[in-house]
């Protein structure tokens, strides 16, 4: 049996659409809707579906605590052999439940199944997840591997809805969702490091509907600083993991993710960007695996990484200005009134930023001066990260 757990808060407009894509999944299915004290009519929608379908149960959290704790409550009530956390404003693709059940029905059942997804923007544009592309380069059996055998799998989205987990495994390792934003980060990597068998389903199973106003990725809020707490929790959990490949892959993904968050103008307030950059730089320096294991990538991505190493916030902002102006030029076809700084000028600002922000910390992993790209790891995953 598969238990689908749906945390619900202010999802009245979307919940019915979500449930409609799930209820056709057959008899080996239960749906646990967790009302996180939603103030709108979400619970009424859930109860209407539950009254017509005995596979659906509706429970309520003691108080509003966020999607992470609500998932913990739902897991405690789930009875299926496997658990899949689905967001109330998203949808399953046709045949998704059957594909997942097929993946877990073999003689050697996986602890975790990663499923392919697509992201649908509010403009209607569709972006395809990168799991099939990653799986083509899997050095192990994609139907049964460990994190040590395939560290690069950390590049796949750390969202909980791309993971279907064996319930006995989940409850046995006692890994729950913490409070705050970005709670999927420590949960996902705690899961992957403990799983003895991971499998993938490369056919698309999940549709992430990115809606304006309904996602933290489209919200300006100081709670985006929770991302540092969640990454620190992850590294604390990996403190006893000595595998250089795992630590390097995790570091590479963390740097990509933090640069994504700070670069998104819909997340971090401009006046808070300097502090966000400083804290990103701190994590970069603290967990860098060493220049023999990881070096900045080539191109603009590598330049951003070297600016982090040098704590060169002024250089980072200069680079952002270059691209803002370049985008305006591309749209209008006209030259700007102010000259665009050359890449060499931005590169030179690495040193200026380091001088302005203090000298490099003792034991810093690199000197931010033209390090060679690190070939085994990508500069960034392709799409669809929260």
Nearest CA among 233, 284, 279, 290 for reference residue 255:
284
pLDDT cut 90: percent of the chain above it? 71
- Cα atoms in the 13 Å half-sphere on the side-chain side of 140: 16
What value does the mean pLDDT take over residues 230-242? 97
Asked whether the predicted pLDDT for residue 16 surpasses 50, the reply is yes
Tens of pLDDT along 197-228? 999 999 999 999 987 655 555 566 788 999 99
End-to-end CA distance of the chain: 28
Domain definitions of the chain by residue range: 2-218, 222-357
pLDDT at 151 over 90: yes
- Mean pLDDT, to the nearest integer, of 160-175? 95
pLDDT at position 107, please?
A: 83
The whole-number pLDDT of residue 214 equals 53
Q: Residues 24-49: what's their mean pLDDT?
A: 96
The mean pLDDT of the chain is: 85
Which pLDDT score, from 0 to 100, does residue 221 have? 72
pLDDT for position 57:
97
| Most trustworthy range by pLDDT among 281-285, 317-321, 370-374 | 281-285
For residue 14, the number of C-alpha atoms closer than 13 Å in the C-beta half-sphere is: 22
Question: Which has more pLDDT, 161 or 121?
Answer: 161
26 SS3 class:
coil
Q: What's the mean pLDDT in 271-285?
A: 95
111 has a pLDDT exceeding 60: yes
Percent of the chain with pLDDT over 70: 82
Structure tokens at 360: 């490099």
* Predicted local distance difference test score (pLDDT) of residue 211: 72
SS3 316: helix
Q: For residue 195, is pLDDT > 70? A: yes
Is the pLDDT at 383 greater than 70? The verdict is no
The pLDDT of 39-51, averaged and rounded, is 97
Q: Where are the alpha helices (DSSP H) in the chain?
A: 15-20, 42-52, 67-77, 96-103, 131-135, 167-173, 184-194, 226-237, 244-263, 273-287, 299-309, 313-332, 343-357
Give the pLDDT band (50/70/90) at residue 332: low
Strands 163-166 and 112-121: antiparallel
Q: What is the DSSP string of 182-219?
A: -THHHHHHHHHHH-S-EEEEEEEEEEEEE-TTSSGGG-
The residue assigned the tokens 């460990």 is 146
d(CA 135, CA 130): 9
Average of pLDDT values for 349-354? Answer: 41
Contacts of 339 (CB under 8 A, 6+ apart): none
For domain 2-218, say whether CATH 3.90.550.10 is its number. Answer: yes
Do 315 and 350 contact (CB within 8 A), yes or no?
A: yes
Q: Residue 1 has what pLDDT?
A: 94
């Amino acid at each position: 049996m598969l238990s689908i757990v749906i945390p619900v808060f202010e999802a009245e407009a979307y919940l019915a659409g979500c449930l409609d894509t799930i209820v056709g999944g057959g008899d080996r299915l239960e749906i646990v809707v967790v009302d996180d004290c939603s103030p709108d009519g979400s619970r009424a929608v859930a109860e209407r579906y539950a009254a017509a379908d005995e596979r659906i149960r509706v429970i309520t959290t003691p108080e509003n605590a966020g999607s992470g704790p609500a998932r913990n409550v739902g897991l405690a009530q789930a009875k299926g052999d496997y658990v899949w956390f689905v967001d109330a404003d998203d949808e399953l693709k046709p045949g998704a439940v059957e594909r997942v059940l097929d993946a877990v029905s073999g003689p050697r059942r996986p602890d975790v199944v990663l499923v392919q997804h697509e992201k649908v923007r509010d403009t209607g544009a569709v972006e395809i997840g990168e799991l099939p592309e990653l799986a083509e380069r899997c050095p192990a059996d994609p139907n049964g591997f460990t994190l040590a055998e395939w560290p690069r799998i950390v590049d796949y989205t750390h969202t909980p809805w791309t993971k279907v987990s064996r319930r006995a495994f989940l409850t046995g390792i006692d890994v729950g969702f913490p409070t705050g934003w970005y709670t999927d980060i420590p949960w996902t990597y705690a899961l992957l490091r403990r799983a003895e068998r991971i499998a993938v389903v490369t056919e698309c199973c999940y549709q992430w509907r990115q809606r304006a106003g309904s996602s933290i990725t489209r919200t300006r809020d100081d709670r985006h600083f929770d991302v540092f707490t969640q990454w620190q929790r992850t590294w604390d959990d990996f403190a006893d993991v000595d595998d250089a490949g795992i630590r390097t892959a995790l570091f590479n993904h963390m740097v990509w993710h933090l640069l994504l968050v700070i670069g998104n103008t819909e997340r971090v307030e401009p006046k808070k960007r300097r502090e966000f950059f400083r804290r990103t730089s701190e994590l970069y320096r603290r967990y860098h695996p060493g220049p023999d294991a990881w070096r900045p990538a080539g191109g603009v991505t590598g330049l951003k990484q070297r600016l982090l190493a040098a704590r060169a916030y002024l250089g980072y902002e200069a680079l952002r200005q270059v691209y803002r102006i370049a985008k305006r030029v591309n749209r209008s076809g006209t030259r700007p009134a102010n000259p665009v700084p050359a890449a060499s000028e931005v590169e030179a600002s690495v040193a200026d930023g380091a001088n302005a922000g203090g000298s490099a910390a003792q034991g810093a992993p690199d000197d931010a001066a033209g390090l060679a790209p690190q070939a085994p790891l990508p500069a960034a995953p392709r799409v669809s990260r929260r």
